[in-house]
Amino acid sequence: MSFGDPNNPYGQQPQQPPQGGQPGYGYPQQAPQGVPQQGYGYPQAPQYPQAPGYGQQPGYGQQPGYGQMPELAHWGLRFGGNLLDMLIIAGPYYLLAGIGVAMSDSPSDSGFAVLGILGFVYLIGMAVYQIYLEGSTGQTIGKRVVKIRVLKEADGSTLGFGMAFVRKLAHFLDSLACYIGWLWPIWDSKKQTFADKVCSTVVVRA
């Protein structure tokens, strides 16, 4: 028996896998380069992208639909805006009343009465107009000058006329106990008066 005998198992040479073709049976197939091989075991569940912000509650200063809440206005700006509004509303009324007194011999004169009525009409009309501005834009004339704005704390939207009117009435609470409510924004973390806390409003820089 020779080594070239086909019946001799020791004379057979091992077969080589063909070059450039498919490997023969019994050889593990190689995955193309760059494609990760999945290990044995249970199939992996597909990975779905997580929605941005899912499961996270918006914190103060990041309100849904309004982005970043502006910086809170300090007490000095609030005082300046309220002072300007008082001068705008009440100033012409007292001016007309003073002119009427100076031009009349007595308070019963018709000139004094006419000027007093005009001053009172202006006082009421300007007060209502200021509430309208604050409810629709967040700014009265004085607030616009000092660049501040009053908004809802929950979502940063404007108050509307009704809530702006209620907030004006709620300022009565600020005048109790030696006007301590007007000074409350100096040390309050949200710089709110008592009226702001009742109506859930904040005053921010415009």
Digit-coded pLDDT (tens) for 68-93: 678 999 999 999 999 999 999 999 98
Q: Stretch 120-130: mean pLDDT, rounded? A: 94
Antiparallel, parallel or unpaired: β 62-63 and 148-152: unpaired
Residue predicted with more confidence, 127 or 36: 127
Q: Place 149 in a pLDDT band, splitting at 50, 70 and 90.
A: very high
Is the pLDDT at 48 greater than 50? The verdict is no
Percent of the chain predicted with pLDDT > 70: 63
Are 131 and 88 a contacting pair, CB within 8 Å? no
**How far, in Å, CA of 142 to CA of 138, rounded?**
11
In the 8-state DSSP scheme, what is residue 170? H
Distances (CA, A) of 21 to 24, 26, 47, 48: 9, 15, 35, 38
Contact 84, 142 (CB under 8 A): yes
pLDDT single digits (tens) 176-189: 989 999 999 999 99
Q: Answer for the pair 194, 170: CB distance below 8 angstroms, yes or no.
A: yes
What is the rounded CA–CA span in Å between residue 158 and residue 206?
Answer: 13
Q: What is the C-alpha end-to-end distance of the chain, expressed in Å? A: 105
